[in-house]
Structure formats: structure tokens, C-alpha cells
């Protein structure tokens, strides 16, 4: 199974958790995008939902597909958000932000009753940290934040733009430092240390936020949950991730 096939498979599975009248958060990235396409097809077929996107790119795609968009002014609580992850560790601890949208992704996830992660098997790890940890930073504070992250041993590197001309600029006008910190032994401690740095807007550690991960592999899609939670739609394949 190719990665594209896995992403489509898990997108279709995620659609089983969407029903008429829901308010849905739309993720960002190569795994979330197939879900947005599937949702668009369902809307064309008559599904009635409202959505909030986690990036300008996802919002643009949703509009092109005819998915009705709303705002937090009108819809402060979402029923579900479906988004990808760069790493998924025990306890459904995540690293996100490979596509630079982790600030909006965290805001949308925090407003949702259920946060469903969609990924392929390559994203499941025993400990977070092999994937660089993104930290979104106000441009004015970049030199200071870089020094502080260096002091913490997190080895920050300024993320270049996709074209290589200048730094990556987020939808909020900030820059991103990718921290090549290796295995993160204590994610909660690391998250707190980063958030305590003045000038940091948000980091890519998503801890205690996800309810369910749908993981695509050669044998189909399996479900990873935290604790003894009743199995959702889709039949067999539920696993418990502690």
C-alpha cells in the first residue's frame, strides 16, 4: 500500500464519524487533504455541515469544494476535528506543525468535542522527537527565542520558505523554529519550558488533546484510543494506546 492509498483509506474511515448537522474542523496537510475532498463529495451529495479550517490553504480548498465555512463568532464549539500528525506516541501525544499550521490547528482542536487524528503506520512512534518540533515565534523576538531554545538543548533551526527565499511565514505572520531535539523524554516539561519563553506563540506538542487516532496500514485501518473507551464506527480494529 502506498502512502497516498493509506491516506485515502483513512480519510474514508474518518467520514464514518461525520453526520448531518455537524460542525467540523478541517485539518491541514497531506493526510487531512484527502479527508477534505471526501467531505466535499459528501456535501455535494447532500450532507449538511459547517466547517472551520486550520489554514488558509484548507479554507481555500473547502470553498472550491463547496463546503460551507463558518467562524468562531458564529460557531464557538465544534463537534469534531479531523487532522493529521507528524508523530503519534503513547497516550496519543502528538507532534504537529510540519505544514506550519499548528497554531490554528491547536485552536481548532481546543474548540472541538472530539479530535480525530488520521495517519499511516509510519507516524506511530514509541517516543516523540525524531520529527523536528516546530515552535512558532514572533519575528521581533526571533534572536532571543533562538538563544533560549539553544539553552534548553533543543537545537532550533529557522524553517525556510518552500521556495527557499527567506523564512517560512505562517498564516499569522510569524516564523517557525524547528527544534531538532531528539527523543523527548518528558513532553509535558518540554512544552512548559517552551511556552515560558517570551516571544513564543505556540509549539507543536499536542498533549492530552486527541481522543482517537485512525491509523492506515496493510491490514486496513486500526483505531488507537486512550483508556477503555467504547469502540466507534467501523467494526473491528480498536487498540488501546497507553
Residue 209 CB: number of other CB atoms within 10 A? Answer: 18
Catalytic annotation present for 240: no
Average pLDDT over residues 92-96: 98
Does residue 236 have a pLDDT over 80? no
Separation of alpha carbons 84 and 107, rounded Å = 15
227 falls in which pLDDT band (50, 70, 90)?
low
**Looking at residue 15, which CATH number applies to its domain?**
3.40.50.1360
| pLDDT, tens digit (0-9, with 9 covering 90-100), for 35-77 | 999 999 999 999 999 999 999 999 999 999 999 999 999 999 9
Are 42 and 76 in the same domain?
yes
How large a percentage of the chain has pLDDT more than 70?
Answer: 93
Does residue 28 have a pLDDT over 70? yes
Tell me what the pLDDT averaged over the chain comes to: 93
Are 212 and 193 in the same domain?
no
Are 112 and 227 in the same domain?
yes
Are 7 and 122 in the same domain?
yes
Are 174 and 217 in the same domain?
no
Which DSSP letter does residue 174 get? -
Q: Is the pTM of this model over 0.95?
A: no
Are 179 and 227 in the same domain?
no
Are 111 and 175 in the same domain?
no
Range of the domain at 137: 133-202
Are 90 and 167 in the same domain?
no
Does residue 17 have a pLDDT over 90? yes
Active-site hit among 38, 87, 105, 223: 105
Are 99 and 218 in the same domain?
yes
Residues of 2-38 as b/e, b for ≥16 C-beta within 10 angstroms? eeeebbbbbbebbbebbeeebbbbbbbbebbbbbbeb
Are 119 and 235 in the same domain?
yes
Are 236 and 198 in the same domain?
no
**Looking at residue 183, which CATH number applies to its domain?**
3.30.70.260
Are 94 and 181 in the same domain?
no
| pLDDT, tens digit (0-9, with 9 covering 90-100), for 142-152 | 999 999 999 99
Amino acid at each position: 500500500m502506498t502512502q497516498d492509498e493509506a491516506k485515502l483509506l483513512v480519510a474514508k474511515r474518518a467520514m464514518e464519524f461525520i453526520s448531518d448537522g455537524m460542525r467540523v474542523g478541517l485539518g491541514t496537510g497531506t493526510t487531512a487533504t484527502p479527508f477534505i475532498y471526501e467531505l466535499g463529495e459528501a456535501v455535494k451529495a447532500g450532507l449538511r455541515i459547517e466547517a472551520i479550517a486550520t489554514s488558509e490553504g484548507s479554507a481555500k480548498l473547502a470553498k472550491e469544494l463547496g463546503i460551507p465555512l463558518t467562524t468562531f463568532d458564529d460557531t464557538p464549539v465544534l463537534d469534531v476535528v479531523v487532522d493529521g500528525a507528524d508523530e503519534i506516541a503513547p497516550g496519543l501525544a502528538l507532534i504537529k506543525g510540519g505544514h506550519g499550521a499548528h497554531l490554528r490547528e491547536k485552536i481548532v482542536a481546543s474548540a472541538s468535542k472530539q479530535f480525530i487524528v488520521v495517519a499511516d503506520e509510519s507516524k506511530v512512534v514509541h517516543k516523540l522527537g525524531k520529527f523536528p518540533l516546530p515552535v512558532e515565534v514572533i519575528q521581533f523576538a526571533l534572536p532571543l527565542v533562538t538563544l533560549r531554545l539553544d539553552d534548553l538543548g533543543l537545537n532550533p533551526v529557522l524553517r525556510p520558505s518552500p521556495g527557499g527565499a527567506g523564512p517560512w511565514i505562517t498564516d499569522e505572520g510569524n516564523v517557525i523554529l524547528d527544534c531538532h531535539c531528539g527523543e523527548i523524554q518528558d513532553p509535558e516539561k518540554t512544552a512548559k519550558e517552551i511556552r515560558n519563553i517570551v516571544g513564543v506563540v505556540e509549539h507543536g506538542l499536542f498533549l492530552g488533546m486527541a481522543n482517537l487516532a485512525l491509523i492506515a496500514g496493510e491490514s486496513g485501518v486500526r483505531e488507537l484510543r486512550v483508556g477503555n473507551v467504547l469502540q466507534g464506527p467501523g467494526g473491528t480494529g480498536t487498540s488501546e494506546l497507553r
